[in-house]
Amino acid sequence: MSEEKGVDLVEIAPNANPPVCRLMDYGKYKYELKKQANAKRQKTQTIKELKFRPNIGDHDLDVKIGRIREFLEDDNKTKIRIFFRGREIVHPELGRVLANRIIERVADIGGIDMPPKLEGKNLIMVISPKKSAQAGRENAKTEG
């Protein structure tokens, strides 16, 4: 029957009495199993968010940049929100300067996904992890 239909005869339960067989395209079956296994292994990328003020202190900035680096090392996108209060919105250039400082400090591990953009009283940008940094970390894990 399998030769007439052009499919394979696959033994499903060899220990059963009588043994159970199925007519199927075995190559297609293996392909579907492989595809399902790959679909389960995909990692979804989450977006982490950090808030800044335009007149942040140097040490506070260092701490928050450390958090950004941790997020990027964990393969998460990072959304940076610089929010202006009251009359601070009159000087959006201070926010852009801060955004450029942040970008310079994390340029080795992340790249700009969405450039800084003013939305209402917030300056928003998104930084995503670089692929080369991910590959380097994976190599370090296998060696160490």
Tell me if 9 is assigned to some domain: yes
The C-alpha atoms of residue 138 and residue 144 are separated, in whole angstroms, by: 10
**pLDDT at position 138:** 52
**pLDDT at position 144:** 47
Is 14 found in the same domain as 52? no
Note the pLDDT tens digit of each residue in 73-113.
988 899 999 999 988 889 899 999 999 999 999 999 988 98
Note the pLDDT tens digit of each residue in 8-20.
888 888 888 888 8
* pLDDT confidence bin for 123, thresholds 50/70/90: very high
What is the number of domains present in the chain?
Answer: 2
Tell me if 71 is assigned to some domain: yes
Which pTM was predicted? 0.61
Range of the domain at 52: 47-138
The rounded Cα 110 to chain-centroid distance in angstroms is 11
Average pLDDT, the chain: 85
Is 9 found in the same domain as 74? no
Within 8 A by CB and 6+ apart from 53, the residues are 82, 83, 84, 85, 88
